[in-house]
Amino acid sequence: MSQEGDQKVTDDGATENPAGGAEAPPGADPPAGDGDGESEMTLETRLGRLDEIVSTLEGGEVELERGLALFEEGVRHIREAEALLARAELRVEELVGEADALRTRDFEGDEE
């Protein structure tokens, strides 16, 4: 753990303020229930964040409470990623259905 100004930075990148409360590492998602921005994340952003979470947890240097918070965040990302994929799949099925409904016909002036 290193110190930056009045804050301490832990090995996983989180900061602790002098009052003792831990803050999320730079680039971390807001806590659950915030609702601002997290639902707007792209699938790629979610997968990237999941990679970061897995790497941090596999490092084994995370305290229990921080590990649980990261695990919960990861589960939220997985669920939302699954929902994004399900919506994309429905859209593809809709588009394919629309394409199947279109029929081609010969051009009447095309008599070769």
Instruction: Specify the fold of 2-18+41-101.
Output: Helix Hairpins (1.10.287)
The pLDDT tens digits for 36-95 are 466 789 999 999 999 999 999 999 999 999 999 999 999 999 999 999 999 999 999 888
How confident is the model at residue 41, as a pLDDT? 92
Q: What CA–CA distance (Å, rounded) separates 93 from 89?
A: 6
10-24, 26-40, 78-92 — most confident range: 78-92
Looking at per-residue pLDDT, the higher value among 84 and 110 belongs to 84
pLDDT, greater one: 108 or 105: 108
**Separation between Cα atoms, residue 3 and residue 51, nearest integer Å:** 26
Burial of 14 (0-12, 13-18, 19+ CB in 10 A): buried
pTM of the full predicted structure?
0.55
